[in-house]
C-alpha cells in the first residue's frame, strides 16, 4: 500500500512538473508532445464509451458512441462526425461489450486527469496545452496484429500511415 501510494504521488508530481508523459517507454520524442505511447506494442487507446452525448460540448472530443456503435469526434460547430466505417449493413456496424470498461456503471462525475496546466475543460482525460499534441500508439497493420481489439480502439497504422479506429466489427482507416 505504501509503495503504491509513493508511486502514485511520484507519477502525479512528474506529470505536473514535466507536463509530458511517455507510456510504455522512457521519454517522449520531442518537446511538442503531451503524451506518447511506445511504438508497435500491438496495443491501442480505448475511447470512453458514451451512452448519452447530449451534454458534451467541448469541440475536439473523441468518443465511442454506444447508441450506434461508432467512433465519433465533435467539430467546432457542434456536429458529431463519424470516424467508423458504415455502409448501413450489419457487416460494418459494430457491437459493444461494455465489460471492457468495467461492469460498474456508476460514474464519478468529478473524475478527471489532466496533463498540462489544469483548466476548466470537462473530460475524464484532458490534455491541456496550446503547443503540445498527443501521439497515438503506433502499430504495424493493427487489423492483422491486434488480436482482440476493443470497440472504440484508436491507433496509428505505421504501414498505411493512417489513423485506424475499430468500431467493434471492423477497422476504419483515415488519412488527410
Break the chain into its structural domains and give their ranges. Answer: 20-174
**CB atoms < 10 A from the CB of 101, how many?**
18
Could you identify the residue written with the cell 455502409?
Answer: 87
Q: Which residues of the chain have pLDDT under 70?
A: 1-18, 40, 87-109
Three-class DSSP labels, 50-63:
ECCCCCCCCCCCEE
**Quick one: cell of 14?**
512528474
CA-to-CA distance for 154 and 173, rounded, in angstroms?
10
Give residue-wise pLDDT tens across range 3-44. Answer: 444 444 444 544 444 578 888 888 888 788 888 888 767 888
* The model's pTM: 0.70
62's enclosing H/E stretch is strand 62-65
Amino acid at each position: 500500500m505504501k509503495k503504491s501510494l509513493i508511486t502514485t504521488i511520484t507519477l502525479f508530481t512528474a506529470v505536473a512538473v514535466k507536463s509530458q508523459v511517455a507510456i510504455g517507454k522512457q521519454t517522449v520524442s520531442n518537446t511538442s508532445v503531451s503524451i506518447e505511447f511506445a511504438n508497435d506494442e500491438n496495443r491501442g487507446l480505448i475511447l470512453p464509451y458514451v451512452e448519452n452525448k447530449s451534454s458534451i460540448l467541448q469541440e475536439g472530443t473523441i468518443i465511442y458512441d454506444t447508441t450506434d456503435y461508432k467512433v465519433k469526434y465533435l467539430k467546432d460547430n457542434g456536429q458529431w462526425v463519424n470516424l467508423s466505417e458504415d455502409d448501413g449493413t450489419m457487416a460494418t456496424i459494430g457491437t459493444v461489450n461494455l465489460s471492457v470498461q468495467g461492469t460498474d456503471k456508476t460514474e464519478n462525475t468529478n473524475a478527471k486527469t489532466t496533463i498540462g496546466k489544469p483548466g476548466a475543460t470537462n473530460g475524464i482525460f484532458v490534455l491541456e496545452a496550446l503547443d503540445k499534441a498527443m501521439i497515438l500508439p503506433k502499430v504495424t497493420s493493427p487489423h492483422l496484429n491486434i488480436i482482440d481489439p476493443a470497440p472504440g480502439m484508436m491507433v496509428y497504422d505505421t504501414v498505411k500511415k493512417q489513423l485506424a479506429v475499430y468500431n467493434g466489427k471492423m477497422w476504419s482507416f483515415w488519412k488527410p
